[in-house]
Amino acid sequence: MSKLTELEKVLSNEDVGRVRLNEPMSKHTTIRIGGPADLLIEPKEIKSLQKIIKIIKQFNVKWRAIGRGSNLLVSDRGVEGAVIKLGKGMDVMNIDGTELRVGGGFSLIKLVTLISKNGLSGLEFAGGIPGSVGGAVYMNAGAHGADVSGILRKALVLFQDGELKWVTNEDMAFSYRTSLLQKKPGIIVEVVFDLQKGDKKNIVAEMEKNKDYRAATQPWTEPCCGSVFRNPLPEHAGHLIEKAGLKGHMIGGAQISPLHGNFIVNVTDATAKDVLDLITLVKVTILKEYGIDLQTEVEIVYE
């Protein structure tokens, strides 16, 4: 019996959630690309997650965490070790006045809608942003001049060494699409947001306006992984890509979206290599044309 097969058996016997061997990651990324994860685990609750990490460490298997796979490009070869996917069971929510405590696996789109209808302000900017709360904190997601760093009080993080601790806003070291967790990986278990009371009608209207704008300008009805490049402010990656005449360009089954230059869509059975080749083409072209070295925003898992 292999180490991973034995690990799968132990985790299944512990009843910590869904555990699957050789699970295609294409089923768990919004761009629908990715080879198999050696082991995919979906914890059913926070206590289960702690037990999972402890057991994985005992087996000396490397692991990584994902949310809803909206900012992720996984190699065609797949992912070595265990992938922990936060979803149901990790999506608790509690509102106490203007304090919002929510699980890292909660859908951001769903959360924004619920909070807006409760007359709480602070998350309107995230209207239409896909992914999980944990992923949004990890990347310091933002839009329309606001981002997660403006509302987060603290986050409960399970670090790779098994330590579970609350990390304050200041210690999260937020900057543009960046947080502490890019340097010190961990799983965002829960977060506390500080919101404000406001006029429900105005809050919902603002949230809907942002959601409609995103739907009209970004190809989220097609398989994609969100913004591919970080904006080299004050420039914007999508604008540079459009100026360079690359919108609509295809390699294999992957295409630079005709709707938005900073999105790559899976048109017809694209591979991760197709997407990476497009990323390389864009980087080389923009550096040559404008002297700007674009950096990727999408997380690339290529082992």
Active site residue 227: yes
Active site residue 116: no
Among 23, 190, 206, 297, the active-site one is: 297
Count how many residues are written for the chain: 303
Tokens of 41: 């685990």
Q: At what angle do helices 200-217 and 108-117 cross, to 10 degrees?
A: 150
Q: What is the 3-state secondary structure (H, E, C) of 202-250?
A: HHHHHHHHHHHHHHHHCCCCCCECCCCECCCCCCCHHHHHHHCCCCCCE
**Residue 60 C-beta-side C-alpha neighbours within 13 Å:** 2
Among 32, 68, 177, 214, the active-site one is: 177
Active site residue 64: no
Among 75, 227, 257, 299, the active-site one is: 227
- Between CA 172 and CA 167 the distance in angstroms is 6
Which residues are known catalytic residues? 177, 227, 297
